[in-house]
Amino acid sequence: MPTMRCVVVREHGGLDRLCLEERPIPNPAPGEVRLRMQAVGINHLDTWVRRGVPGHTFPLPLVTSSDGCGVVDQLGPGVTGLREGDPVVVLPGRSCGACEACQTGQDQLCRHYQILGEGTDGTAAEFVCLPTANVAPKPRALTAPEAASVCLVFQTAWHMLVRRAELRAGETVLVHAGLSGVGSAAVQIANLLGAQVIATAGGPEKCARVQALGAHHVIDSRQQDFVAEVRARTGKQGVQVVFEHTGAATFEGSLKVLQRGGRLVTCGATTGGAVQLSLHAVFFKSLSILGSTMGSKGDLRALLRLFDQGRLRPVLDRVLPLAQAGEAHRLLEAREALGKVVLAV
């Protein structure tokens, strides 16, 4: 039986818990396609799955990773609209397709929603079988590694800013960690929407890269207090929206820089999820705190067209071989990557 290589987590822990394993090449079920993967995007989510999250159970053993780009290799029974050889990207969220949430374009709220590489096997393999709903044409303007780096973070950032925070032209938004995957997506999307973008980044090189993405002001989080800087740059007015994903290290300050009626939207807590929150500030200033996870497949398909139009661009740091998944995780955890890290398959 022919086999393939894949990156698997069997138990939680350090980088040594990433196993490069051989498995049989899967066959697509009815309504599925098999992809021959070319590139796999790495996200902070992958590192959380590997380390484990207190109070959450992952279905181990698990093939890691959510993003990817490949070529249709085989069609399952009943599949139409795709052909062998088609270049495609992976849409990283799976849902039932039949419930009210799915049929009203909010599939991320489906009770059966799963993120590839978190709730079910992911993309870090030489071959992957997926429902046809989870593949879309690769933007022609992007290489395979570039295409593998965009879906999860741009989908997440778009849903946060457009659907949850309802960011409008002329408003000011603070984006934390503007060169991270989701942060770099947020900087570009906010700019596209006509907002003024203030972003943070760690160190001069990262700050310069974030400014090149379209941020109007960049704060060096290693050298400057972002609360004082935001107040200074807005004439003590503050911002209408804060794009949060770092958690404990920035959350309290993020609330302080919001104007009355401001909105904080968050999708993560890379520095910890236990935060201090004064309800007095929330109700006196009429603040909104908005949680957000992923986004709809429909929005993501629309986003992919913006890459072909040159209105959005991937932020790719480097491409490593599949066997160096551990180094990719290390780069993210050490915050050494200047953009996305991708594995070549």
Q: Are 191 and 218 in contact (CB under 8 A)?
A: no
Measured in Å, how far apart are the chain's first and last C-alpha atoms? 20
Domain segments of the chain as ranges: 3-150+314-344, 154-291
Residues 6+ apart with CB under 8 A from 59: 119, 120
What is the rounded CA–CA span in Å between residue 291 and residue 268? 9
pLDDT, position 274: 87
**Which stretches in the chain have pLDDT values below 50?**
none
Residues 6+ apart with CB under 8 A from 108: 93, 95, 101, 159, 293, 294, 295, 296
What is the rounded CA–CA span in Å between residue 181 and residue 340? 6
Is the C-alpha dihedral spanning 59, 60, 62, 67 positive or negative? positive
pLDDT, position 183: 96
Q: Are the folds of 3-150+314-344 and 154-291 the same? A: yes
Is domain 3-150+314-344 classified as CATH 3.90.180.10? Answer: yes
pLDDT, position 290: 97
What is the rounded CA–CA span in Å between residue 184 and residue 211? 10
Residue 289's DSSP bridge partners are 264
What is the rounded CA–CA span in Å between residue 341 and residue 19? 18
- pTM confidence score: 0.95
Angle between helices 181-192 and 151-158 (to 10 degrees): 50
Max Cα-Cα span within the chain: 67
What would the two tokens of residue 228 be?
Answer: 């004082």
- CATH superfamily, domain at 154-291: Medium-chain alcohol dehydrogenases, catalytic domain (3.90.180.10)
